[in-house]
Amino acid sequence: MTFNDLGLSAPLLRSLKEVGYSTPTPIQEQSIPILLRGNDLLGCAQTGTGKTAAFSLPIIQLLHADKKQFRGKRDVRALIVTPTRELAIQIGENFSAYEKYTRIRNTVIFGGVKQGRQVEALSRGVDVLVATPGRLLDLIGQGIITLRHIEYFVLDEADRMLDMGFIHDIRKLLKLLPRDRQSLFFSATMPKEIVDLSNRILDRPEMVTIKPEQATAERVDQSIYFIHKRGKIKLLTHLLKTEDMHSTLVFSRTKHGANKIVRLLGKAGIESAAIHGNKSQTARQKALKGFKDGSISVLVATDIAARGIDVADLSHVVNYDLPNIPETYVHRIGRTGRAGASGIAISFCNEEERAYLKTIQKLIKQEIPVIEDHPFTDIGDAEPQPQQQHSRQGPPRRNRGQGNRNQKNQGEMDNNSNPSKNKRRRWRPRKKK
């Protein structure tokens, strides 16, 4: 089946062709027809299954078909609520790519930054709003956003909302939404609280369940190195310089970690680039282009930013940080060994990540071979602390702290009085009266 078989409009098919998509994923194949019919949807699927296109494509098509929306001031008619800034940015980027040949506009709002630019974008009028719960409720409270005109509501990563403590915010939002709307609900797991929440949101929904992959790609050769945290960058540098790793995707758990890996590899003479949510779209596209054309052999990415990476000849995947979700491991290493080619997946595991490894091996139902013979087995986590080396020097600890706090005042005293008196005053205990 292709996207042409799903009843999508010509502008969307044109956009999908430009981004290189021709065959829908299982969740897209099942969900898009349901949503185009106007039915509510309950989707149970992991991250990385193609959920964003599954809901964004039909929403864009339905909005674009209603021409009256574009005649006056635009009201927000589609709301997508997601738990994190990174996911919100990713969803917004996907909407921008898919809506390219329509008149639809979207914007993304999230906390942790000043609201000025976000408010300015809203004032120009948008059709689709992607938001994190806190900033959304804040701007609603200020009267900047109204939900009165919402026709399409998407709650993404509902179980993660629960883990992050956003369920109360979601319940507040539900009271502000119109009753007459089409609702979509996505969650990787379905604990009781999530089931109860879905019942409040959805009206006679159709259900789509995509089971997580239970086995890794047969052509992927997996291995794991037990390594202390401080030894990871040394081991990565060693492997990149001694092994034939001509196209390597390195996964970092955090954006800060990705930047640090790139910086340290650069010091070792290895050119690489990072892509994550804090990188501009231009920077990410430049990095990905360099990786695809071979001018950069190492790309460091977070899981969310790596969603759009599809490189045919990817030789290695390196899990610099093991993921805490076992299905994420399967999704990561599945990026190599495609189209009949062989692939290699290498993972680093420190003491804190052993629990993650256990759940990964339980999911894939196999023990990952351990590489014991490497030059960094003796690197420990402990290293001398500078402050401990000086702990025997200077005044007692209680007076050192006081001296630091009063350094400026003490200096002023030294300029205007006898130093010996200052010294006696500093150390002589006060007499009780």
User: How many structural domains comprise the chain?
Assistant: 2
CA distances from 220 to 337, 341, 344 (A): 5, 9, 5
Is position 407 within any domain?
no
Nearest to 229 by CA among 263, 255, 261: 261
Residues 20 and 160 in one domain: yes
Higher model confidence: residue 238 or residue 374? Answer: 238
Residue 167 vs residues 85, 134, 353, 369: alpha-carbon distances, Å? 17, 11, 29, 41
Contact 231, 355 (CB under 8 A): no
Query: What is the pLDDT, as a whole number, of residue 329?
Result: 86
CB 305 within 8 A of CB 90: yes
Under the banding of pLDDT at 50, 70 and 90, the label for residue 379 is low
86-89: long-range pairs with CB below 8 Å, 24+: 86/255, 86/276, 86/277, 86/302, 86/304, 86/305, 87/156, 87/157, 87/304, 88/130, 88/131, 88/132, 89/277
Higher pLDDT, 298 or 84: 298
**Of 209, 235, 260, which residue constitutes the final position of a domain?**
209
Do 190 and 52 reside in the same domain of the chain?
Answer: yes
Structure tokens at 288: 């990905």
pLDDT at 47: 65
| Domain final residue, candidates 209, 243, 277 | 209
Q: Give dist(CA 75, CA 141) in Å, integer.
A: 17
Do 147 and 280 sit in the same domain of this protein?
no
Assigned token pair, 414: 């030294």
Confidence (pTM)? 0.61
Contact between 324 and 306 under an 8 Å Cβ cutoff? The reply is no
Shared domain check, 145 and 235: no
Do 195 and 244 share a domain, yes or no?
no
Per-residue pLDDT at 248? 94
Asked if the structure places residue 413 within a domain, the reply is no
Q: Which residues contact 6 (CB under 8 A, 6 or more apart)?
A: 24, 28, 29, 32, 33, 36
Q: Which two tokens stand for residue 179?
A: 């009753």
Position 225 scores a pLDDT of 96
Query: Does residue 384 lie in a domain region?
Result: no
Are residues 113 and 85 in contact, defined by beta-carbon separation less than 8 angstroms? no
Predicted confidence at residue 190, as pLDDT, reads 85
430 belongs to a structural domain: no
Task: Answer whether residue 275 shows pLDDT above 80.
Answer: yes
Residue 337 CB partners (closer than 8 Å, separation 6+): 217, 218, 219, 220, 343
Encode pLDDT of 343-358 as tens digits: 899 999 999 999 999 9
Backbone angles phi, psi at 211, to 5 degrees: -70, 140
Residues 198, 96 share a domain? yes
With a pLDDT cut of 70, the percent of the chain lying above it is: 79
Q: In CATH, what number is assigned to the domain containing residue 136?
A: 3.40.50.300
Closest CA to 292 of 311, 273, 317, 315: 311
Whether residue 150 sits in one domain with residue 115? yes
Domain co-membership, 245 together with 346 = yes
Q: Is residue 385 part of a domain?
A: no
Burial level of 214, CB count in 10 A (0-12/13-18/19+)? exposed
pLDDT tier, 393 (very low <50, low <70, confident <90, very high otherwise): very low
The band of 371, judged by pLDDT with boundaries at 50, 70 and 90, is very high
391 within some domain = no
For residues 301 and 337, state if they share a domain: yes
User: Do 30 and 170 fall within a single domain?
Assistant: yes
Query: CB–CB of 334/307 below 8 Å?
Result: no
**CB-CB contact of 82 with 158 (8 Å):** no
Give the amino acid at 64. H
**Are β-strands 248-251 and 272-275 bridged in parallel, bridged antiparallel, or unpaired?**
unpaired
Question: What does the alpha-carbon distance between residue 296 and residue 283 come to, in Å, rounded to a whole number?
Answer: 14
230 and 188 in one domain?
Answer: no
Where would I find the beta strands (DSSP E) of 168-243?
182-187, 206-209, 220-226
In a domain, 422, yes or no: no
For 212, which DSSP code?
P
Same domain, 199 and 251: no
Q: In what order do the strands lie in the sheet with 78-81?
A: 106-109, 128-131, 78-81, 152-155, 182-187, 41-44, 206-209
Residue 379 in domain:
no
Which of 177, 209, 241 is the endpoint of a domain? Answer: 209
> Can you give the length of the chain in residues?
433
For residue 282, give its domain range: 220-364
The residues, ordered by sequence, that sit 6+ positions from 37 with a Cβ below 8 Å of its Cβ are none
